[in-house]
Chain A
Amino acid sequence: MKNDKYDLIVVGTGFASSFFLQKYLAKSKGNKKILVLERGYFYSHAEKLKVRRGESAPDVKYEPKWDSLVENFNPRKDWHFTTGYGGSSNCWWGCTPRFMPSDFKMQSLFGVAQDWPISYDDIEPYYDEAEEIMQISGPDATPFPKKGKYPLPAHKFTKVDEILNKKYGNQYISQPTARASRATANRNACMASSTCGTCPVDAKFSIENSGMTVYQNPQVEIVYGAQVYKLETLDGVARKVCYVKDDKDFSVEGDVIALGANPFFNTNILLNSGDTNKFTGKGFGEQLGIQVLIYLDNLSNAGGSTWVNANGYMLYDGKHRKDYAACLIEVNNAPFIRFEKDKWLNIASFRLVFEDLPEDKNYITTSANKLKPAVHYEGRSDYAEKAFANAKKQLPEILSCLPVERLKYLDPFPNEGHIIGGTRMSANAETGVVDKHLVHHKYRNVFVLGAGSFTTYSAANPSLTLSALSLFAADKMF
């Protein structure tokens, strides 16, 4: 390390950290000392492709499986994420709808959980900015307020999409996505291969192909293989960041610290630091995802141009959220196929994604190993389960404009890939862990970034929103 003390220490290099740094660097005067501590290494997309093709690539050792990094107490529940440079931007699938304005007001509109201390309007400009950085493809009409156009044109509709869009207007749209609808400076156009975890043509946004040069900035020093586990605090101020590298303990001083590790590791770091906020680690979880296959008579679903072609909001907003969850529909182009003659592609696939609520029965604690959080997940709320029961009732009517033969529901997925909560945002320390600028209520020089800060879950995918929140926090605080 070049220095003993830094103006800013950032933990992690995923969306949360990178978007925070992007704004911080834009606002600083070019004379800051910034340290980035990253537990993993740089494992390039090109090397990942080699592994997917079955070739040998020594860097594969840099991709530890998620379950070797946490103590998971529920074997029926998976929690996928990747570590290393770019975090889970490497394995994500690039769906980027915004939240709805109502998602921020669950208590005042529906009497459920808590309101966020910020509103949709507060982060709207940062949504625009995050969408510009990620070069999102999307439609002109959206169910959420949006002033300008998306940077890239919308993906192509299938005939099924066209029919549903005609009936539901802006409640059924081409999905806003970080899978490029046409080539950009750093990415190729999407070809709908539907293996976006590692995109064969590099069409999906990742930190590696983002063109954000934050880690190349001369003010920034990055240390790989540094696993942060604790902050040393004094009188409510974090003084030092403690980490393990090559099996040795280190600590380094910083004025401001930004944790962008992910909800599990951010919580582990805070709890190891002596954080006594009663919400730290509580109420984490993820949305509930269920796939339904729609068998169509005489109507092919071909012709879309990406993996998730469209989003349906027909079951999302409304008074029902007093009683049961919002549902976002992801209309999927993965190659489900029928084998009856002339019906091969007469099938559409909806993934129903239900929001969930932060419940105390699901929580993260430390474990005997200071580097490993313990993950205790009992299950989803009745609020989400009830919404699924309702969706089953309503879908036939919703789809009545299509020649539906039958619907087939698949089992719920063991993971949705969206780890949310654990360091929830709130107006004060009595109701949550961080304030509206993602600053810890007690440790006033510590930002706790990422989806852990979401007060409530929303049914929408989290990464665009958490990236916008990082931009917002850095913009307001520096």
Chain B
Amino acid sequence: MERRSFLLLSGVLVGMVTIPPSLYFVSPGIKRYAARLIEKELSYLKLDKAGVSNYIKDYFKNGSNNVMANVKWKVLYYSRSDSNNSNNINDLLRYYLLSTDFFLNQMDVSKPVNYIGIFDPYKSPIANPYSYILLPKIGVNNWP
């Protein structure tokens, strides 16, 4: 399942089967550890706590990500897994940042990071941060 949701975001998977949310029960424990994983790796940002928990709720509600409820988030948390060695964590964090105003605010770490709705190009106009529309290349590069 790691691979499936990963491929979904990288835009390769087609014909996804949506799993009805009611089939899955996501316990508060699972959600707590998922939130902690976000807070741990992004501790240098001013995250709005309520936003993180709303995001987690929405993330697990989303059909395809619901499967992720089966992932042992607690184990991931205590096994020191992070976005570099777990695709699940990477996806969770990636969707999170994409679903906030972080890129709209030009990655300004002094500003609080607010959740503005799950990243979904079909439902909201939040652009891909790599796009010239959001971040023109001028001003974001300092190399060489």
Binding stretch for chain B, among A95-103, A124-132, A191-199: A191-199
Cβ–Cβ contact A302 & B122, under 8 A: no
Which residues of B lie under 8 Å from residue A262 when comparing CB positions?
none
Contact A334-B127, Cβ < 8 Å, known A66-B15, A304-B132: no
Cβ–Cβ contact B128 & A333, under 8 A: yes
Cβ–Cβ contact B130 & A302, under 8 A: yes
Binding stretch for chain A, among B23-31, B47-55, B65-73, B134-142: B134-142
Of listed B3, B132, B135, B142, residue having the most chain A CB within 10 A: B132
Contact A345-B128, Cβ < 8 Å, known A196-B11, A334-B11: no
A-B pairs with CB below 8 Å: how many? 128
Specify the main secondary structure of chain B where it touches its partner.
loop
Contact A298-B14, Cβ < 8 Å, known A303-B136, A345-B130: no
Cβ–Cβ contact B127 & A303, under 8 A: no
Cβ–Cβ contact A345 & B140, under 8 A: yes
Cβ–Cβ contact A307 & B11, under 8 A: yes
Which residues of B lie under 8 Å from residue A409 when comparing CB positions?
none
How many Å from the CB of A319 to the closest CB on chain B?
32
Of the four ranges (under 10, 10 to 19, 20 to 34, 35 or more), the interface on chain B belongs to 35 or more
Cβ–Cβ contact A158 & B127, under 8 A: no
Mask for B29-68, Cβ within 8 A of A = 1, else 0?
0000000000001101000000000000000000000000
Asked if A337 is an interface residue, CB under 8 A from chain B, the answer is yes
Which residues of A lie under 8 Å from residue B132 when comparing CB positions?
156, 192, 302-305
Which residues of A lie under 8 Å from residue B14 when comparing CB positions?
80, 82, 91, 197, 417
Asked if A336 is an interface residue, CB under 8 A from chain B, the answer is yes
What is the interface size of chain A, counting residues whose CB is below 8 A from a CB of the partner?
50
Asked if A300 is an interface residue, CB under 8 A from chain B, the answer is yes
Q: How far is the CA of A298 from the CA of B142 in the complex (A)?
A: 6
Q: How far is the CA of A52 from the CA of B122 in the complex (A)?
A: 6
Which residues of B lie under 8 Å from residue A297 when comparing CB positions?
143
Asked if A430 is an interface residue, CB under 8 A from chain B, the answer is no
From the candidates A63, A298, A336, A403, name the one contacting B10 in the complex (CB within 8 A): A336
Which residues of A lie under 8 Å from residue B116 when comparing CB positions?
none
How many Å from the CB of B8 to the closest CB on chain A?
9
Q: How far is the CA of A156 from the CA of B11 in the complex (A)?
A: 20
Cβ–Cβ contact A339 & B93, under 8 A: yes
Which residues of A lie under 8 Å from residue B19 when comparing CB positions?
none
Asked if B109 is an interface residue, CB under 8 A from chain A, the answer is yes
Asked if A465 is an interface residue, CB under 8 A from chain B, the answer is no
Which residues of B lie under 8 Å from residue A192 when comparing CB positions?
127-128, 130-133
How many Å from the CB of B64 to the closest CB on chain A?
12
Cβ–Cβ contact A344 & B141, under 8 A: no
Q: How far is the CA of A335 from the CA of B143 in the complex (A)?
A: 21
Contact A341-B131, Cβ < 8 Å, known A53-B123, A91-B14, A195-B11: no
Cβ–Cβ contact A200 & B121, under 8 A: yes
Cβ–Cβ contact B129 & A335, under 8 A: yes
Mask for A41-84, Cβ within 8 A of B = 1, else 0?
00000000100111000000001011000000000000010100
Asked if A165 is an interface residue, CB under 8 A from chain B, the answer is no
How many Å from the CB of A262 to the closest CB on chain B?
15
Which residues of A lie under 8 Å from residue B123 when comparing CB positions?
53-54
Asked if B97 is an interface residue, CB under 8 A from chain A, the answer is yes
Which residues of B lie under 8 Å from residue A197 when comparing CB positions?
11, 14
Q: Which residues of B contact A (CB under 8 A)?
A: 3, 7, 9-12, 14-15, 17, 41-42, 44, 83, 93-94, 97-98, 103, 107, 109, 121-123, 127-138, 140-144
Q: Which residues of A contact B (CB under 8 A)?
A: 49, 52-54, 63, 65-66, 80, 82, 91, 93, 156, 158-159, 191-198, 200, 291, 296-305, 307, 332-337, 339, 341, 344-345, 349, 403, 411, 413, 417
In the assembled complex, 18 residue pairs joining A and B whose CB atoms fall closer than 8 Å, in A order, are A53-B123, A65-B15, A80-B15, A82-B14, A158-B130, A159-B137, A191-B131, A191-B133, A195-B121, A197-B14, A198-B122, A298-B143, A302-B129, A307-B11, A334-B130, A336-B94, A344-B97, A345-B107
Given contacts A91-B14, A192-B127, A403-B143, 16 further A-B contacts (CB under 8 A): A93-B11, A159-B141, A159-B143, A192-B130, A197-B14, A200-B121, A299-B142, A302-B129, A302-B132, A302-B136, A303-B135, A303-B137, A305-B133, A335-B130, A337-B94, A345-B140
